[in-house]
Copies of this chain bind each other. A is one copy, B any other.
Amino acid sequence: MTPTDQIKNALFKLVRLTAAEWQVFAQNLEEVNFRKNDFLCPIGQVEQYIYFIHTGLARVYFQKESEELTLNFHFENEFVTSFSSFLTQTPSRVAVQALDKVHASRIHYRAINALYNQSHNGERIGRLIAESLYLAKTNREIDLLSLSAEEQYQNLLQKNPKFISHLSVKHLASYLGIQPESLSRIRNKIGR
């Protein structure tokens, strides 16, 4: 399956675009590569693109004084960008960083907006993506409010084992809102 087909599959799960609509989108795709630790979007920059990850993974994090707070991780076959910056076209409060070599395709803000303007279906894809982002954040909000660090880790073990197997203690801890030392103790206590 070609990179472009990967994206087509992901989008068509939401809405089936016409051939013409898909063309508007596909014409504007551009393949890009990042090395480990490169920034897809650094803090302060206005995000111009949505990325679709073909291979590799990325994290989105916020810098709070000396520590980094991770908001999310994104893996293969997922879209990633500093959505807040992209949507509002204002400087990003968060950084998007490759945690590994990343091969991605990206599409420019203008192309997305062209699609929204030209196509009702395109607009719908935008709505469905925004809704699913909202749902994910709501679930996370409930977790952050209601679970202790240990419960959250147990939760990940069940629902997102990929997180635990692919991410460093440091990054995982910052996602859970705790210090690496604490996560280390939790892992030790639970027995991996």
Is A71's CB within 8 Å of the partner chain B? yes
What interface size band does chain A fall in?
20 to 34
List A residues at the B interface (Cβ < 8 Å): 62, 64, 69, 71, 83-84, 87-88, 93, 116, 120, 123-124, 126-127, 130-131, 133-135, 137-138, 140-142, 144-146, 177
User: Given the complex of chains A and B, what is the CA–CA distance between A127 and B144 in angstroms?
Assistant: 26
The contact of A131 among B93, B120, B130, by CB within 8 Å, is: B130
Q: Contact at A138–B83, with CB atoms within 8 Å? A: yes
19 contacts between A and B (CB under 8 A): A62-B142, A64-B145, A69-B145, A71-B141, A71-B145, A83-B138, A87-B134, A93-B142, A116-B124, A120-B123, A123-B127, A124-B127, A126-B127, A130-B130, A130-B133, A134-B137, A137-B137, A141-B141, A144-B144
In the bound complex, what is the Cα–Cα distance between A144 and B152 (angstroms)? 15
Which residue of chain B lies nearest to A71 when distances are taken between CB atoms in the complex? B141
Chain B residues with CB below 8 A from A138, complex form:
71, 83-84, 137
